[in-house]
Structure 1
Amino acid sequence: MRHLILPFLLTLCFYIESIFVDFLPTGIFGRDWILVPHFLLVLLIIMGISFFRNRTLIYAAVFGLLFDIYFTEIIGIYLVLFPIAVYISAKLAKILFSNVFTALFTSMLCISLVETIVYGMNILVLRKSMDINEFSMIRLVPTLILNIIFFIIVYFPFNKFLLNRKKEEINE
């Protein structure tokens, strides 16, 4: 039963992202910001740093495919980007001293990378029209602020859960 808690948390986060977008009113802060919750990606990045990297890469690929099927018009982009983000964050955590600040930094770096690549693919493939300054101010910065808030809320309890889970699996 304990083995199902982690996939359940990731699935719950996957659905919370879509609910969050549906219930967040547009222009909530007096601006037409585009807030993109990457709650699932934040959890996957924390997992990549604190848990078993290879297992996290599998979770990232599976949920990336589900994300593509459920949300996007370009199938395969999140299937590739989620594992890349997890891999980059896991490698950076090994190079840098792993703590809450480096985890936050790598999370925001990876979210910025994912958002920028998705922006580029939307420009190239779907012919969406948004210049880079507009993307930065209307979408990227508000998205990073939202995900920083989420990271601060979930990091300590989720990291503690992952470390306990890792100890249990090593002892088994």
Structure 2
Amino acid sequence: MKRWILPFLLTLTFYFESVFVEFLPEKIFGQEWILVPRFLIILLMIMGISYFRNRTLIYAAVFGLLFDIYFNEIIGVYLVLFPIGVYISSKLMKYIFANFFTVFLLSMISLSFIEILIYGMNILVLRKHMIFDEFVMIRLVPTLILNAIFLIIIYFPFNRFLMNLKKEEMNE
């Protein structure tokens, strides 16, 4: 039974991201901001740091493909970006002491990297036009704030859950 909790939680988060967007107001504090919840990649990055990296990379690839199929016009963008973000985060944590502040900082940097790459793909492939300064102010900063709040709320319980799950699986 415990074996199915993690995939169920990730699937629920995948679904919750799209539902969450529907409840966001169009304007916040009189400004039109594009808030992009990246809750799934946040959970995957925490998993890459606190859980088994190879399993997490498989989850990242599977959910990246689902993300591409469900949300994206180009198949393969998230299929590649999710595992790369998880891999880089987990590799860097081998050289840095893993605590909340380093995980927070690394997650925000990785998320910025992913968002900028997606911005570049939208400019190059889909020919969507948005000036980089406008992208930073309207999409990147609000997205980082939203996902930082999510990370602050979810980090400690999810990390504890992953540590217990890892300990149980290693004892089996």
- Name the counterpart of 2:58: 58
- Name the counterpart of 2:160: 160
Q: Deviations over 1:103-139 (max 9, x none)?
A: 1111111110110000000000010010110000100
CA positional deviation for 1:86 = 0.1
- Name the counterpart of 1:84: 84
TM-score of the pair, normalised by structure 2:
0.99
The correspondence of residues 32-51 of structure 1 with structure 2, limited to 5 A, is 32-51=32-51
TM-score of the pair, normalised by structure 1:
0.99
> Following superposition, which runs of at least 4 residues in structure 1 exceed 2 angstroms of deviation?
none
Q: Any gaps of 5 or more consecutive residues in structure 2?
A: none
Q: Secondary structure at the match of 1:126?
A: coil
Q: Deviations over 1:22-61 (max 9, x none)?
A: 1212113321100000000000000000000000000000
- Name the counterpart of 1:149: 149
- Name the counterpart of 2:123: 123
- Name the counterpart of 1:20: 20
- Counterpart of 1:82, as a letter, is F
Q: CA RMSD in A?
A: 0.6
CA distance in 2, matches of 1:53, 1:143: 26
CA distance in 2, matches of 1:20, 1:30: 20
The correspondence of residues 89-128 of structure 1 with structure 2, limited to 5 A, is 89-128=89-128
- Name the counterpart of 1:8: 8
Q: Secondary structure at the match of 2:32?
A: coil
- Counterpart of 1:100, as a letter, is F
Q: Any gaps of 5 or more consecutive residues in structure 1?
A: none
- Counterpart of 2:83, as a letter, is P
CA distance in 2, matches of 1:29, 1:43: 28
- Counterpart of 2:160, as a letter, is K
CA distance in 1, matches of 2:37, 2:80: 18
CA distance in 2, matches of 1:18, 1:111: 18
CA distance in 1, matches of 2:3, 2:73: 33
CA distance in 1, matches of 2:9, 2:29: 29
CA distance in 2, matches of 1:76, 1:26: 29
Query: Percent of counterpart pairs with the same letter?
Result: 72
